[in-house]
């Protein structure tokens, strides 16, 4: 696995641009199998998570090709061959779960490998199974696979989700899209990747009402056979990474193409911590739906909030953005209370920053207190096996005096494209080493 060598405690400056969304890209790659025609996804991030999904799709007979610099063309085969599925690629990504909602439209009986992805404690798949059984689907959990039977699919006008999860909502949408009739999904996630999936399916002819709300009405169609192209939206979690870097290193940066609808609460929390920024301009994304802004940050004196910082489903503070407040809190005067209630074990990884001189006190597997400001110092750390907890170590290392080594960075490269070189362009000293 590759490693990063980082020399920190440097003031950064310049402009960095937000890439398109990992979480939208992986669901749209799977959703392309609903279309018998040619799908072109524009500006796909070149990251390891995308590579794994492409490997899985190719292994079952799908024609997938990169066209131009960052566009991906997907042409499904007439008949999928699941006997040749790339098991090793499939188990490395939780996104393989989307095959449950997609393949029911292609086969009456099949198996899907159980997924991997970030290790964040107990991440049950039962909400997926509960959602899909409402369409007449039977799923049996085997030791390494899910065995799926979909003999007679039916729409559902009162599908109540067991939890308001992003991937659960997307799987229900994928299932409903090709079942003629009306499906109503309640307690749906309205997060950015869910909205991207909805807008993509609308281009394919599926009628969807209630986008950005927690109740979706979907009028499924019998078949889709179109040539379609779709521009993926920008990633608010990547924008938050750059905001976290700016705040933690006390640097003035310009961050372009930030999807503001999914950052407003994060920015408000930062503003109340003393973080100074200015929105330079507002405009639409290339897909015509997402609202983007350019943000300029300024040097700031940070203070801890009196209230806890916790995530919520959209429109709350994004669950994936919560960890980025941890390195910020190391530079804020006072004690910051982070409550990561969603995952049983993600907060445990926050204490990795103590190796850099932070003062993170773990109360239990969900709660941490961070006392600041502290002077961070370089060290060597091995990445935890999850994306966001690994990425906040980079943020802290960029603020730490001396030369740090971050080992086994596959977790980071699952979600961020060419990150070292992009950070070098704003003055960071970071490079990939063996």
- Per-residue pLDDT tens digits for 123-148: 468 899 999 999 999 999 888 899 99
Find out whether 14 and 427 touch, Cβ atoms under 8 Å.
yes
Determine if the pTM surpasses 0.85: yes
Rounded-to-10 torsion of CA 258, 263, 264, 270 = -100
Over the stretch 60-100, which tens digit does the pLDDT of each residue have? Answer: 999 999 998 899 999 999 999 999 999 999 999 989 999 99
* CA pseudo-torsion sign 88, 238, 389, 367: negative
CB 305 within 8 A of CB 336: yes
Residue 68: the pLDDT is 85
Average pLDDT of the chain, as a whole number: 96
Rounded Cα distance between 246 and 395, Å, is 9
Q: For residues 95-114, b (16+ Cβ closer than 10 Å) or e, as one string?
A: bbbbbbbbbbbbeeebbbbb
Read off the pLDDT of residues 324-362 as tens digits, 9 standing for 90 and up: 999 999 999 999 999 999 988 899 999 999 999 999 999
Sheet holding 252-259, edge to edge: 13-17, 252-259, 291-298, 276-284
Taking every pair of C-alpha atoms in the chain, what is the biggest distance, in angstroms?
62
Q: Which residues of 254-291 are buried (b: 16+ CB within 10 A; e: fewer)?
A: bbbbbbbbbbebbbebbeebebbbeeeeeeebbbebbe
DSSP string, 287-304: TSSSEEEEEEEE----B-
Which tens digit of pLDDT belongs to each residue from 21-46? 999 999 999 999 999 999 999 999 99
User: DSSP state, 401?
Assistant: B
Which domains, from first to last, does the chain contain?
3-19+234-433 (3.65.10.10), 22-231 (3.65.10.10)
**Sequence-ordered list of residues with C-beta below 8 angstroms from that of 301, at least 6 positions apart, any chain:** 274, 333
**Residue 225 CB burial class (10 angstroms; 0-12, 13-18, ≥19):** exposed
Query: In 3-state terms, what secondary structure has residue 400?
Result: coil
Provide the Cα torsion 178, 180, 185, 188; round to 10°. 20
What is the structure's pLDDT at 116? 63
- Band of residue 1 on the pLDDT scale cut at 50, 70, 90: confident
């Amino acid at each position: 696995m590759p490693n990063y060598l980082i020399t920190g405690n440097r003031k950064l400056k310049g402009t960095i641009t937000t890439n398109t969304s990992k979480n939208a890209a992986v669901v749209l790659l799977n959703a392309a199998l609903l279309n018998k025609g040619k799908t072109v996804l524009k500006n796909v991030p070149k990251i390891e998570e995308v590579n794994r999904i492409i490997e899985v799709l190719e292994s079952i007979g799908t024609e997938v090709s990169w066209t131009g610099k960052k566009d991906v063309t997907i042409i499904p085969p007439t008949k999928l061959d699941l006997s040749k599925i790339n098991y090793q690629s499939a188990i490395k990504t939780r996104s393989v779960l989307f095959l449950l909602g997609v393949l029911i439209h292609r086969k009456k009986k099949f198996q899907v490998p159980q997924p991997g992805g970030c290790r964040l404690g107990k991440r049950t798949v039962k909400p997926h199974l509960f959602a899909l059984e409402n369409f007449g689907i039977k799923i049996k959990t085997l030791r390494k696979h899910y065995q799926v039977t979909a003999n007679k699919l039916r729409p559902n006008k009162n599908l109540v989700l067991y939890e308001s999860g992003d991937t659960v909502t997307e799987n229900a949408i994928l299932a409903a899209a090709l079942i003629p009739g009306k499906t109503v999904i309640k307690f749906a996630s309205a997060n950015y990747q869910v909205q991207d999936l909805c807008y993509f399916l609308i281009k394919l002819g599926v009628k969807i009402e209630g986008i950005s709300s927690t109740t979706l009405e979907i009028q499924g169609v019998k078949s889709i056979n179109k040539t379609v192209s779709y521009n993926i939206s920008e990633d608010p979690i990547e924008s938050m990474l750059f905001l976290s870097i700016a705040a933690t290193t006390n640097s003035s940066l310009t961050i372009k193409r930030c999807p503001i609808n999914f950052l407003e609460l994060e920015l408000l929390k930062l503003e109340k911590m003393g973080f100074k920024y200015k929105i330079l301009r507002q405009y639409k994304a290339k897909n015509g739906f997402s609202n983007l802004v350019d943000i300029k940050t300024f040097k700031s004196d940070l203070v801890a909030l009196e209230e806890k910082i916790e995530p919520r489903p959209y429109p709350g503070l994004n669950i994936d953005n919560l960890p980025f407040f941890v390195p910020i809190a190391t530079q804020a005067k006072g004690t910051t209370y982070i409550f990561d209630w969603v995952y049983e074990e993600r907060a445990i990884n926050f204490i990795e920053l103590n190796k850099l001189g932070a003062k993170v006190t773990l109360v239990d597997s969900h709660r941490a207190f961070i006392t600041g400001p502290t002077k961070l110092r370089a060290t060597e750390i091995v990445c935890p096996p999850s994306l966001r907890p690994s990425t906040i170590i980079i943020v802290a290392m960029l603020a730490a005096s001396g030369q740090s080594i971050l080992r086994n960075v596959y977790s980071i490269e699952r979600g961020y494209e060419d990150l070292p070189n992009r950070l070098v362009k704003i003055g960071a000293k970071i490079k990939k080493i063996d």
